[in-house]
Amino acid sequence: MTSPLDHRTRIKICGLTREQDVDAAVAAGADAIGLVLYPKSPRFVSAGRAGELTRRLPPFVTPVLLFVNEPVEVVRAACERVPNALLQFHGDESPEFCAEASAGRPWMRAARIPADASAAFDLLEFAARYSQANALLLDAHVEGYGGAGRTFPWSRLPPNVSCHAVLSGGLTPANVADGIAQVRPRFTTLAVDVSSGVESAKGIKDAGLISQFVAAVRGADVLLSRSRNAHLPAA
């Protein structure tokens, strides 16, 4: 029989700007924290500040550096400050750019999913183009970059995509379980990424909301594991 951990959903808390928020994410059981190195974001931190914040992380909690259309040299300079980071490319970066800028480090690419059903977006083709990515991050397509705290229609995702995925865009403690239930069966594995859904103000995280979000994810994992076990043949 499988256990709840067979369905464990990894959790990233993104857009951290303060020491106490890093500590709250770690205490709640997050697997990763995200630092936004995009100067136009209200959650922007410099590479130096990212280095300061990530020094608080214990082993096995992964720092993620988010970039939007930065030159290769900017990406690599930031990586020198946070050498163990996973990279997240959230702009218009090509597969070739991602490979060059990451210089062998693991990276993931944001796929911006249109909310409008009439807008064309082929996720299978996108996944094939970015086949070297460790994962695709699924976010809502809005004006500018980032999901602006909005969800996209999860039902628009293809039924079977052979890659690891990170569900983002408008997640909260109230809707993350539904997102996991709808999206996980479509991908090899699923993680979730939250930012505004656990904030009291832009760039200011709420420790209570972080804990609620993590608890909601863990509850969803247990329910999915029970559902799977219920459909297994008897020994």
N-term to C-term CA, the chain: 9
Hey, what domains does the chain have and what are their CATH numbers? 4-230 (3.20.20.70)
- The confidence band for 231, taking pLDDT boundaries of 50, 70 and 90, is low
Is residue 213's pLDDT more than 70? yes
Q: What is the pLDDT of residues 80-98, one digit of tens each?
A: 999 999 999 999 999 999 9
Q: Which residues pair with 135 in a beta bridge?
A: 108
DSSP string for residues in 125-136: HHHHHTTTSSEE
* Contact by Cβ (8 Å): 31, 59: no
Residue 18 has what pLDDT?
98
Q: What backbone torsions phi and psi does residue 68 show, to the nearest 5 degrees?
A: -130, 105
- Paired with 194 in beta bridges are 13
User: Is residue 182 within 8 Å of 159, Cβ to Cβ?
Assistant: no
Read off the tokens for 23.
């500590």
3-class DSSP assignment, residue 21: helix
Retrieve residue 34's tokens. 């995200």
Q: What is the DSSP pairing of strand 10-14 with strand 135-140?
A: unpaired
Written as one string, the DSSP assignment of 142-176 is -SSSS-TT----GGGS-S-EEEEEEE-SS--TTTH
- Catalytic residues, by residue number, are 14, 139
Residue 229, pLDDT above cutoff 70: no
* pLDDT per residue as tens digits for the range 53-78: 999 999 999 999 999 999 999 999 99
pLDDT at residue number 214: 98
* Percentage above 90 pLDDT, the chain: 81
Question: Which of these, 56, 52, 45, lies nearest to 15 by C-alpha position?
Answer: 45
Q: What is the mean pLDDT of residues 205-230?
A: 91
Percentage of the residues of the chain whose pLDDT score is greater than 70: 90
Binned at pLDDT 50, 70 and 90, residue 185 comes out as very high
pLDDT of residue 1: 36
| Beta-bridge mates of residue 190 | 165
pLDDT in tens, 103-161: 999 999 999 998 776 667 899 999 999 999 999 999 987 766 655 678 999 998 999 99
